[in-house]
Amino acid sequence: MAADPQKQAQSAKPIEWCVRLNVYGSFESPGFDRVLNFWNSQVPLFAGVTVHSPGLLSWGATAEIAPDELRVFLLDPAGLRMILEEGPNGVLRAGSAGRAPIVALFPDAAGKSDPTALGDSRAELLDVSAAAAAAGVHKVFDIESLLIAGVPYTDEVLTVIGTALHRRAHALLAPAPKVLALDCDGTLWQGVCAEVGPNGVHIGPEERWLHAYLAEQKRSGRLLVLVSKNVVEDVEAVFQHRADMGLRWSDIAAVRVGWSKKSEALRELAHELNVALDSFVLIDDSSVECAEVRSACGQVAVLQRPRFGVRRFFAAAWPLDPRSTAAGGLGESRTRLYQDEARRRAALRAAPSFADYIRDLAVRTTVRLASGGEQARLFELAQRTNQFHTAADRPSAQAVAESIAGGSVLAVEVADRFGEYGISGSAFLERTAEALTVKRLMLSCRVLGRGVEEDVFDALVLLARNEGGAYLDIAFAETERNVPARRFLKSIGEALLAVCRSSADGTVTWRFLLDGLSSCPRLRAVDEGADESPEAAGGSSPDWTALAKLTGDSAALAASLGLSPNVAADSSIAADEQGILSVIADVVGRPVSRSDNLYALGCDSLKIVRLLARLKSALALEISIGAILYRADVADLLELARLEKAQSAPADEGFFDRVQSLYDDELPVS
């Protein structure tokens, strides 16, 4: 059962960098703020949500977008023409500062829209017609409510788009999960492999689709691990002997198969893989196991696999949404990297001392200027790196590309005797005559504590000296997750007598005087013999299983928010008293009698508009909103309907053409 929007348990924790959401529309969209605020209460992303009236669209389009703001435009075809005609370059194309706006492009009365009109805009497009079709919503445009109150689109499609917008924002703003922890019996196959053997388990269409889906998740860069209460040999036998098994044993980065609690297994995997618990998504069919993990490891995103409807369920699962194309094709190498890491940890356990382990690793660090072909990896690294990241914000793909083109990004490559880590860090630079400033320094957690941090610092010092400056400055903005970066800078700053300066926005800058500066002392970020897991962020993950079900049921969500789900017209309803009461009951969601009052039934002005539009479309009864808005008794509505029926005129053949003309007329350019 999905969460009641009126009874929110505020357990989910907002992400580290909260932004404001501002929505501007070219048409009236009452109730849209209810949808956005509901999702923000369930999946906290925004410090505030504001839906502006259409009169502010012009200002909203041309104002500079602040870095801590996400801006959304709801545009019908006429509104799109207006917004593109306002500036010589098209206002949605202007500038590169701030987050790219999202444009939800709505169709006209004939169901048509033109996404190509955005041209080379930097805006992200959300195709409303496609989103509505995917959600099974077939009525998008509402001609009747447009004429009654200037509200051209149905509540249900606004609910779908509000959901899609918050979901898109979640993919843009929230840290991406890195690890999918998979149950086996009942999840990857049906049956208990220990009882029926590898040939006895059932792998049907639902399971085959899930295997292909998980393989695609791996190709996108996420790790697959197994967490199963089972015997490891029985589980491995299914992977090895079933030709219809869509995953290979080599696809699995790590395994915890045994009889301990799954929360304990997940903590062990976090320790082994050196990632935080909030980087995990558990996929399990058991409600008991899911509840145990949600209780003991609240940071883990939990998805309870349904017996049937697997494709529909995972299509509505927000944590598994693609974040970017940056990781495409890196899945094989990423899994291999973590398998190599497991061998490194085994070597650490076998080494006489931590110093011996580091020496035997034979770590090689290369720091060089980044090239354009590495943009995707560097952008991905900036989005994923949390612990050793000296900046609090995340750069856009465009900002990364511009920095690389300007020769202001260094790439850090690391290798050791077990294999290559690949590009594992980067530094974003700013140059003045006086100093080389590191505005953003990040290193993958996989390479921390092995001398890489010190190697990178020495390379930065060498570059600063070669460029003739007097200082090396490293800026740092604290977050809940970047404790390792803060500790490292504090340690070397104190050891090398750097000056620490604070600014009004909370950023600190460590200034190192290059004259006489010695090599970076070899600090141990990991104590000898210790194998620390990263610090996990606090807070609890949303109930993603319940929210996936609600995401897939726009009618139920609309009704729960007091909006009107789109009820299909019933040609058998007569325009008599009982038929009118039936239509009212459909709109308000409860039985209705003559003695009721519409406001007492839970109607507001928007719902009354929807009711009048429904009476027109279903029963051809045209009642003005002014006639009922201030005396909203059902008996009065019935009397008005009787009078309307008695004097009804022939159908207006030009009705649709007049509505269409609202979207065909060119708007004057001011």
Give me the amino acid identity at 358.
I
Closest listed residue to residue 496, CA positions, set 534, 544, 460:
460
Bridge partners (DSSP) listed for residue 438: 429, 474
Q: What pLDDT is attached to residue 89? A: 42
Q: What's the mean pLDDT in 306-313?
A: 92
For every residue of 498-513, DSSP letters joined together read -EEEE-TTS-EEEEEE
State how far the alpha carbon of 332 is from the alpha carbons of 124, 212, 272, 345, in Å: 29, 15, 19, 20
Query: 294 near 277, Cβ under 8 Å?
Result: no
- Radius of gyration of the CA atoms of the chain, in A: 29
- In this model, does residue 627 exceed pLDDT 50? yes
φ, ψ of residue 396 in degrees (nearest 5): -75, 165
Q: Give the least confident one: 25-29, 82-86, 474-478, 556-560.
A: 82-86
pLDDT top residue among 10 and 289: 289
Q: Give the least confident one: 33-42, 117-126, 330-339, 624-633.
A: 330-339
| pLDDT tier for residue 284 given thresholds of 50, 70 and 90 | very high
pLDDT top residue among 424 and 1: 424
- In this model, does residue 49 exceed pLDDT 70? yes
- In this model, does residue 465 exceed pLDDT 50? yes
Instruction: Return the H-helix or E-strand segment holding 303.
Output: strand 301-304
Distance from C-alpha of 576 to C-alpha of 580, rounded to nearest angstrom: 6
Q: What pLDDT is attached to residue 598? A: 78
**348: alpha, beta or left? (left if phi > 0; alpha if psi -120 to 50):** alpha
Q: What pLDDT is attached to residue 551? A: 92
φ, ψ of residue 457 in degrees (nearest 5): -60, -45
Angle at 541 between CA 535 and CA 545, to 5 degrees: 145
Q: What pLDDT is attached to residue 206? A: 95
Q: What pLDDT is attached to residue 252? A: 93
Angle at 344 between CA 340 and CA 349, to 5 degrees: 145
| pLDDT tier for residue 670 given thresholds of 50, 70 and 90 | very low
Q: Taken in order 206, 211, 212, 213, is the CA torsion positive or negative? A: positive
Q: What pLDDT is attached to residue 533? A: 40
Mean pLDDT of the chain: 81
Q: What's the mean pLDDT in 550-577?
A: 70
pLDDT, one tens digit per residue, over 167-183 is 999 998 888 899 999 99
φ, ψ of residue 261 in degrees (nearest 5): -60, 145
Query: 180 near 225, Cβ under 8 Å?
Result: yes
Closest listed residue to residue 226, CA positions, set 195, 194, 251:
251
Q: 375: which residues sit within 8 A by CB, 6+ positions away?
A: 397, 400, 401, 404
pLDDT, one tens digit per residue, over 538-555 is 568 899 999 999 998 888
Distance from C-alpha of 117 to C-alpha of 82, rounded to nearest angstrom: 11
Give me the amino acid identity at 151.
V
φ, ψ of residue 382 in degrees (nearest 5): -65, -35
Distance from C-alpha of 179 to C-alpha of 225, rounded to nearest angstrom: 7
Give percent of the chain with pLDDT exceeding 90.
38
- In this model, does residue 651 exceed pLDDT 90? no
- In this model, does residue 669 exceed pLDDT 50? no
- Provide the pairing of β-strand 69-75 with 19-25: parallel
Percentages helix, strand, coil for the chain (3-state, rounded to 5) are 40, 20, 40
Give the Cβ contact number of residue 418 at 10 Å: 16
Q: Give the least confident one: 84-93, 199-208, 315-324, 559-568.
A: 84-93
| pLDDT tier for residue 62 given thresholds of 50, 70 and 90 | low
- In this model, does residue 408 exceed pLDDT 50? yes
Q: What pLDDT is attached to residue 575? A: 63
| pLDDT tier for residue 607 given thresholds of 50, 70 and 90 | confident
pLDDT, one tens digit per residue, over 74-130 is 988 888 877 766 654 445 654 455 678 888 999 988 888 877 777 767 788 898 988
Q: What pLDDT is attached to residue 527? A: 37
Q: What pLDDT is attached to residue 97? A: 58
pLDDT, one tens digit per residue, over 415-453 is 888 778 889 999 999 999 999 999 999 998 878 888 899
Query: 217 near 224, Cβ under 8 Å?
Result: yes
Q: What's the mean pLDDT in 409-420?
A: 88
Distance from C-alpha of 114 to C-alpha of 301, rounded to nearest angstrom: 37
pLDDT top residue among 6 and 255: 255
Q: Which runs of E-coded beta strand occur in 90-233? A: 102-105, 124-127, 179-182, 223-229
Instruction: Return the H-helix or E-strand segment holding 618.
Output: helix 605-619
Distance from C-alpha of 164 to C-alpha of 36, rounded to nearest angstrom: 10
Query: 84 near 116, Cβ under 8 Å?
Result: no
* Continuous H helices in 417-497: 452-466, 483-495
pLDDT, one tens digit per residue, over 332-384 is 566 666 666 667 777 777 777 777 777 778 889 999 999 988 998 899 889 88
Task: Scan for tokens 């035997």, then name that residue.
Answer: 360
Distance from C-alpha of 577 to C-alpha of 597, rounded to nearest angstrom: 16
Give me the amino acid identity at 92.
L
Give me the amino acid identity at 192.
V
Closest listed residue to residue 554, CA positions, set 543, 546, 564:
564
- In this model, does residue 241 exceed pLDDT 90? yes
- Look at the chain and count its residues: 670
For every residue of 32-90, DSSP letters joined together read HHHHHHHHHHHS--EEEEEE--GGGHHHHHHSPPPTTEEEEEEE-HHHHHHHHHSSTT-
* Continuous H helices in 174-286: 193-196, 205-219, 232-241, 262-273
Q: What pLDDT is attached to residue 268? A: 92
Distance from C-alpha of 99 to C-alpha of 17, rounded to nearest angstrom: 13
- In this model, does residue 526 exceed pLDDT 70? no
Distance from C-alpha of 667 to C-alpha of 151, rounded to nearest angstrom: 19
294-325 burial, b at 16+ Cβ within 10 Å, e below that, comes to beebbbbbbbbbeeeebeebbebbbbbeebbe
Query: 610 near 562, Cβ under 8 Å?
Result: no
> Domains in the chain, start-ordered, CATH in brackets?
19-173 (3.40.50), 179-328 (3.40.50.1000), 357-513 (3.40.630.30), 569-657 (1.10.1200.10)
Give percent of the chain with pLDDT exceeding 70.
80
Query: 66 near 21, Cβ under 8 Å?
Result: no
- Provide the pairing of β-strand 223-229 with 179-182: parallel
- In this model, does residue 588 exceed pLDDT 50? yes
pLDDT top residue among 142 and 11: 142
Q: How far does CA 17 lie from the centroid of its chain?
A: 14
Q: What pLDDT is attached to residue 6? A: 39
Bridge partners (DSSP) listed for residue 475: 509
